[in-house]
Every structure is written in C-alpha cells, then in structure tokens.
Structure 1
Amino acid sequence: MHKRWILMTMLLTSVLFLSGCHLLTINHRISESTGIPIPDSIRIDYEDTHGGFHGDGETLAIVKFDGDTAQSVRAEILEQADWKRLPLTESLGVMMYGGVKNVITYAYEYAELLQMPHIENGYWYFEDRQIESGLSREGQDLFPRASQNFTIAIYDLNTDILYYLEVDT
C-alpha cells in the first residue's frame, strides 16, 4: 500500500510539473518566434492542434498585455525590424480574412479562428517557415503552394492584445 501511495504521488507530481512547463513553453515559443519577450507570469489563451505523423495543425494564441508590460512590448516592437506597421500585405490580408487574389476566391479566415477583429492600428510580424521558400518576411507568394508553413502575429495598439498564429499543413 505504501509503495502504491508513493507511486501515485510521483505520478501526480510529474503531471503537475509537466502541465506547468507547457504553459511556460507557449510563452517561450511565442517570444522566440516574434522577438517579443513574454514574461512567464502572463497567462496565454491558446489552442494547439499540431499532432499526428506530419505535425500538421495550427497554434492560435491571444496574449493580453497591460500596464508596464504593454509599454515594454510596444517599445520592443518598434525596435524590431521584422515588425511592420499595419495594414497587412495583400496576400497576408487574404490569408487572415479571406478574399480574392488573382481572380481566385480564398476562404481562409484565420482571423475568425483567432476571434480577432479587423485591426487597423497596430503592427504585424510574418515568418515564412516553408523550407524551399525564399520569402522569409513578406508573404507575397503564399498561394500557389501545396502546403503552408508560416507564423503571423498581429499586435493591436488599441487593446494591447497580441494575436499569434502558426500554420503547418
């Protein structure tokens, strides 16, 4: 009986430890991707559907900043060359909100998945993670591909909310 109690305690401790690390991992992952330091104390609402053999899926995250942290994030964005002032490029706009490009209607609506309103006052960050791509930061030619692997983040200056999306198909 005593060994069973010890085993159950160790198992519970491991589960609690790993679930706590997972929360820190998303903060670190977004920070590494965007260059914006996100303190471990900030709670991030997110969903990650990556999994399976190929690791396809989406990571959707909403990060709310306030006070000094929001001011720090704003300052950091201004220092980062990879962050651009809105509006999005045409291709990224179609990717986020759906629309028409080159006479083809696209039904992408990642903004809706993120429950993100149309943001006009803010900044955006984009990283093309497609291995054979040479586009790195602009997203001009996302549509003729058989798969998509990119990260986009949009920071709303009016609400101090960061919307973060990773897509792997």
Structure 2
Amino acid sequence: MRYTLRDGVLFACAASILILSYSLQPTSVIGRDLHTSLSGGEVVSSFDTHSGFQGDGKSCTVITFEDDAFLQRIQQQPNLWKPFPPDETVKTLLYGVYTDEYAIYPCVTGKDSPEEPLIPPMEKGYYLLEDRHSQAKENPDLLERSSYNFTLSVYDADNRTLYYYKLDT
C-alpha cells in the first residue's frame, strides 16, 4: 500500500487532536496545577461559569478515589497541602462567618446557590490555597481585597473526595 503526503498530514492531525484532547482532560489540568497525579480518580461532577466579562466566574470539579493513594501523595507534600482544621481565611472562604453583628457569606459556593457552602463540613482533610490575585504580594490578606482570584483545593479524607475550586471576580 502506498501512502501519500495527504495521508501523512491526516495522520499527524489526528494524532495531534488525540494528544490535545488528553492534555485538556480535567484530571490532567488539575493534576498539573496540584503537582500531584490524579490517577485512580473519577470526575463525579463539574461546572464552570467562567464565560463572563474578563474571564470572571467560578468552577468546581469533584473527583472521587477508590483508595488512599491520592491521600498518600498529598501527605508527601507538606509544604503544599495543609491538614484540617483550616486556617481562618480558608474557613471563611469555605463556610463564611456569622455573628450577631455581621455575616460574611462563603465564597466557595455552587453554580446556582451563591449563599450556600459547596463543600460539606469535614473532620479529616487537607487543603491547598493558591492566591492568584495580582495584588497578592502587596496585600497578602485575601479577605481584605475587593476582588478574588484564587484556587482552593480541599481533600475530604473520610470520603476520598477532592474538590478543586476556582474563583475569579
């Protein structure tokens, strides 16, 4: 069988599409962001509203694992992942603050519920907060800014569930 130049170009295009589609899989992108392999994980839900002005929006991908291999991988990165309970900033982002004088609603919310926490309370877990805001170095207090650009990953060790959340305002 004789191959033509056209056949070679078609094969190269098909191979490129296959490679590109794999590299854009949510688990590939998230694993790269977290510096951790997500092998053995299964995406159980995902949403993304980042179609707004200047890329504003929020997204969340929930990945479950059958065993503790992912937990072991993040425990090997103590400089990245912090154990629960979360610090005050992360606690406020996840669940808000409610007092008699004021209420701060959570920032990590679902697609259609802007006042309800997305991630359920948990006892055993780990979190990784990446502040992507342009003023992060000048003003390190994320909660004192008028806009947010952060990625918060939370791993529920009891339920073997990873929540990967991005907010851009």
Aligned equivalents of 1:75, 1:82: Cα separation in 2: 13
In the alignment, structure 1 segments of 5+ residues that lack a partner are 1-13
In the alignment, does 2:75 pair up with 1:78?
yes
Q: Within 5 Å, which residues of 2 pair with 1:75-154?
A: 75-80=72-77, 81-100=79-98, 104-108=102-106, 110=108, 115-134=118-137, 141-154=141-154
Aligned equivalents of 1:115, 1:143: Cα separation in 2: 18
1:46–1:96 distance in 2 versus 1, CA, 3 Å: same
Q: Which amino acid aligns with 1:45?
A: S
Contact persistence 1:27–1:44 (CA under 8 A): no
Structure 1 vs Structure 2 CA RMSD: 3.0
Which structure shows the bigger proportion of residues in helix conformation? 1
Contact persistence 1:111–1:117 (CA under 8 A): no
Query: In the comparison of the two structures, how many residue pairs are matched?
Result: 146
Q: Which amino acid aligns with 2:57?
A: G
> Cα deviation per residue 1:28-65 (whole Å; 9 max; x = unaligned)?
22112222212387334110110133000011111010
Q: Within 5 Å, which residues of 2 pair with 1:23-38?
A: 24-38=24-38
1:72–1:146 distance in 2 versus 1, CA, 3 Å: same
1:122–1:111 distance in 2 versus 1, CA, 3 Å: farther
Identity %: 28
Aligned equivalents of 2:168, 2:143: Cα separation in 1: 14
Contact persistence 1:94–1:100 (CA under 8 A): no
Equivalent residue of 1:155, what SS? strand
Q: Which amino acid aligns with 2:135?
A: E
Q: Which amino acid aligns with 1:64?
A: T
- TM-score calculated relative to the size of structure 1: 0.73
Aligned equivalents of 1:40, 1:21: Cα separation in 2: 19
Q: Give the superposition deviation at 1:26.
A: 1.4
Aligned equivalents of 2:52, 2:156: Cα separation in 1: 33
